C-alpha cells in the first residue's frame, strides 16, 4: 500500500512522516498530482496561516486535485480546515469538501488552544478501538462548527467539531502524529479504512 | 476539557543534556533522545529543549538531535536558545520541532515576533521572558538573565502578545533554582493582562508548588527541570496528585 503526504511547503510533513515510520509505515512526501492521485492513502497536513496555504496549493495546482481524490484522505489541523467551505482566517475560501465553516475562538478564551483535550461522540472507523474522552494534542486558534459531518467533538469555548468525515475524506483538528499512543492508533486505523 | 500541561525542560549543549541530570544509570541521561522518550512514556505533556551551545558546530549538533527527537518521541516539543532569525526557525521546524522559543532576539528586535508569527503561524512561536522582581517592579532580563533591560514584565508580555506570539514562557529569576515555589502573584497578574497561554517556570520543588502554580498562579502549564531530572518528583505521581486536587490533567 502506498501512502503519500502532500508536501506543499506548509507545515509539519516531517512529524507526520516520522509518526508513520514509528508504526512501521513508510510515507512518501510529494507535490506531484499524478503521484498523489495514484496513492492508496493520502495525508493532507498543514500548520500556519490559511490564505498563504491556499496560495501554496494553487501554485502547485493541488487545489483542483485534492477535492477529486477517490482514496481515503486525511486532513490534519490546517489541512482539515482547508477542506472546509470557508475560514475566517483572512477570509479564505477553502476547498469545499466539508460543508462547514471555520471560525476563530472569541476573546472569552485563550487562543491558541494549546495542549491536550478530550474527543467525544466518536462516530467513525477512524476511531476504532479508541475510547471516548481520549486525550489528543491540539494547537489552534480556529475551529470547525459542530455539523452533520462531525465524527468527534471537543469542548473549548464551544463543543466544536474536532474531526470530520464526508465519503472518503477525513479531517482531524488535533495532531495524531503528536498525540502519543492514541494518536498512533488513529494513524494505524487510517491505513486500514 | 483542556488540561494543564507538565513540561520537563532539558538543557542541551553540543547535542547532549547537561546540568543536573541524575538517573542512576537507568537510562543514558546525557542522551536527550533517551531522556525525552523516558519523559514521554511517564506522562510528560510536552518537552522543552534549551540549547546552550555557544558555537555554530554545537548548534548544528543540536539540529541533528531535534531530528532524532522528532523521529522517536510521540509528544510535542519546543526548542529554544539562541534562535534569532527566520532561517534558524525554518531549520528547526523543518527538523521536526513543534514550537520555537525566542527570548533575547525578540528583545533586541521585537519585529522578529511579527515576522515569525506571520510566516510560521502564532501557534509555533513561544516568547520566553526572564524577569526579576527588583524594588517591587518586574524587570525583564536578556542574554540568559545576565543583562537587565528597561522593559517591565507585564508591558513586554502585552507587546509580545500583540505582535503575534502564541504563548509565553515566563521564568521568574527570583524563584529559579531555589525550589520555593513559582512566582504565583506575577503569574496570576500575567493571566489578567494577556489572553494567550502562559507556561510557569522557575521555583518548582514540591507537588504543592505545581498545585499553587495552577490554582493561584492560574498558569496553563508548568515547566521544571531538576525536580524531574533528580527524580524528586515523578511526573505520573505528580499528575495523580494534581487530579486529586481538581486540576484537569491528562492521565
> pLDDT (tens digit, 9 = 90+) per residue, A109-151?
999 999 999 999 999 999 999 999 999 999 999 999 999 999 9
> CA–CA separation, B158 vs A61, rounded Å?
40
Active site residue A77: yes
> CA–CA separation, B54 vs B31, rounded Å?
19
Minimal CA–CA distance to B143: which of B58, B52, B222?
Answer: B52
Residue tagged active-site, from A26, A140, A175, A184: A175
Chain A residues with CB under 8 Å of B4 CB are 115
> CA–CA separation, B195 vs A109, rounded Å?
7
* Residue owning grid cell 462516530: A123
Nearest-by-Cβ selection for A141 from B122, B220, B221:
B122
Element (H, E) at B142: strand B137-142
Confidence of residue B24 (pLDDT cuts 50, 70, 90): low
Task: Please name the residues in contact with B156: beta carbons below 8 A apart, sequence gap of 6 or more.
Answer: B107, B129, B140
Minimal CA–CA distance to B209: which of B189, B238, B248, B188?
Answer: B238
> CA–CA separation, B129 vs B153, rounded Å?
8
Q: Are B117 and B166 in contact (CB under 8 A)?
A: yes
> CA–CA separation, B61 vs B18, rounded Å?
14
Q: Please give the pLDDT value at position A9.
A: 84
Minimal CA–CA distance to B101: which of B33, B22, B12, B41?
Answer: B12
ipTM exceeds 0.85, yes or no: yes
> pLDDT (tens digit, 9 = 90+) per residue, A57-67?
999 999 999 99
> CA–CA separation, B52 vs B68, rounded Å?
18
Confidence of residue A96 (pLDDT cuts 50, 70, 90): very high
Helix, coil or strand: residue B124? helix
> For residue B21, is pLDDT > 60?
no
Q: Does A180 touch chain B (CB under 8 A)?
A: yes
> CA–CA separation, A141 vs A112, rounded Å?
4
> CA–CA separation, A62 vs A37, rounded Å?
10
> CA–CA separation, A51 vs A122, rounded Å?
30
- Residue extents of the structural domains in chain A: 3-191
Contacts across the A-B interface (CB distance below 8 Å): 98
Residue B135 DSSP label: T
Q: What does the CA dihedral B134, B197, B36, B6 come to, rounded to 10 degrees?
A: 80
> CA–CA separation, B53 vs B57, rounded Å?
8
The 8 Å CB, 24+ separation contacts for B145-148 are B145/B171, B145/B173, B145/B176
Q: Phi and psi at residue B41, in whole multiples of 5°?
A: -65, -30
Provide the CA A87 distance to its chain's centre, in angstroms: 14
Q: Does A49 touch chain B (CB under 8 A)?
A: yes
Rounded alpha-carbon distances, angstroms, from residue B189 to A169, B153, B216: 44, 10, 10
Domains and CATH numbers, chain B: 5-244 (3.20.20.70)
Architecture of domain A3-191: 3-Layer(aba) Sandwich (3.40)
Q: Are B182 and B222 in contact (CB under 8 A)?
A: yes
Q: What is the mean pLDDT of residues B49-53?
A: 88
Q: Does B2 touch chain A (CB under 8 A)?
A: yes
> pLDDT (tens digit, 9 = 90+) per residue, A36-75?
999 999 999 988 889 989 999 999 999 999 999 999 999 9
Amino acid at each position: 500500500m502506498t501512502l503519500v503526504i502532500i508536501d506543499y511547503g506548509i507545515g509539519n510533513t516531517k512529524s507526520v512522516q516520522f509518526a508513520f515510520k514509528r508504526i512501521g509505515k513508510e510515507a512518501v512526501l510529494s507535490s506531484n498530482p499524478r503521484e498523489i492521485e495514484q496513492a492508496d492513502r493520502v495525508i493532507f497536513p498543514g500548520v500556519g496561516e490559511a490564505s498563504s496555504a491556499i496560495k501554496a496549493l494553487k501554485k502547485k495546482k493541488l487545489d483542483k486535485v485534492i477535492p477529486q481524490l477517490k482514496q481515503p484522505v486525511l486532513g490534519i489541523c490546517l489541512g482539515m480546515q482547508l477542506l472546509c467551505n470557508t475560514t475566517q482566517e483572512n477570509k479564505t475560501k477553502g476547498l469545499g469538501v466539508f460543508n462547514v465553516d471555520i471560525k476563530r475562538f472569541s476573546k472569552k478564551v485563550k487562543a491558541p488552544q494549546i495542549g491536550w483535550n478530550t474527543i467525544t461522540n466518536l462516530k467513525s472507523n477512524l476511531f476504532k478501538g479508541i475510547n471516548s474522552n481520549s486525550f489528543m494534542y491540539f494547537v489552534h486558534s480556529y475551529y470547525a462548527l459542530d455539523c452533520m459531518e462531525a465524527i468527534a467533538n471537543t469542548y473549548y469555548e464551544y463543543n466544536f467539531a474536532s474531526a470530520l468525515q464526508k465519503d472518503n475524506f477525513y479531517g482531524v483538528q488535533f495532531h495524531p502524529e503528536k498525540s502519543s499512543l492514541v494518536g498512533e492508533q488513529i494513524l494505524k486505523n487510517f491505513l486500514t479504512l | 476539557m483542556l488540561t494543564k500541561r507538565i513540561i520537563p525542560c532539558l538543557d542541551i549543549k553540543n547535542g547532549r543534556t547537561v546540568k543536573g541530570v541524575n538517573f542512576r544509570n537507568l537510562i543514558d541521561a546525557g542522551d536527550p533522545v533517551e531522556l525525552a522518550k523516558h519523559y514521554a512514556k511517564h506522562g510528560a505533556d510536552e518537552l522543552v529543549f534549551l540549547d546552550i551551545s555557544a558555537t555554530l558546530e554545537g548548534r548544528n549538533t543540536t539540529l541533528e538531535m531535534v531530528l532524532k527527537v522528532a523521529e522517536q518521541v510521540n509528544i510535542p516539543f519546543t526548542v529554544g536558545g539562541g534562535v534569532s532569525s527566520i532561517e534558524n526557525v525554518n531549520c528547526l521546524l523543518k527538523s521536526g520541532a513543534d514550537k520555537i522559543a525566542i527570548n533575547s532576539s525578540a528583545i533586541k528586535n521585537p519585529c522578529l515576533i511579527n515576522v515569525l508569527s506571520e510566516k510560521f503561524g502564532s501557534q509555533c512561536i513561544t516568547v520566553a521572558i526572564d524577569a526579576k522582581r527588583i524594588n517591587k517592579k518586574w524587570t525583564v532580563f536578556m542574554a540568559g538573565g545576565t543583562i537587565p533591560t528597561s522593559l517591565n514584565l507585564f508591558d513586554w508580555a502585552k507587546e509580545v502578545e500583540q505582535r503575534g506570539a502564541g504563548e509565553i514562557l515566563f521564568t521568574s529569576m527570583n524563584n529559579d533554582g531555589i525550589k520555593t515555589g513559582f512566582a504565583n502573584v506575577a503569574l496570576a497578574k500575567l493571566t489578567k493582562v494577556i489572553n494567550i497561554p502562559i507556561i510557569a517556570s522557575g521555583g518548582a520543588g514540591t507537588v504543592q508548588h505545581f498545585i499553587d502554580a495552577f490554582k493561584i498562579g492560574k498558569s496553563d502549564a508548568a515547566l521544571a527541570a531538576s525536580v524531574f531530572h533528580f527524580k524528586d518528583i515523578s511526573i505520573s505521581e505528580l499528575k495523580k496528585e494534581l487530579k486529586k486536587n481538581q486540576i484537569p490533567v491528562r492521565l
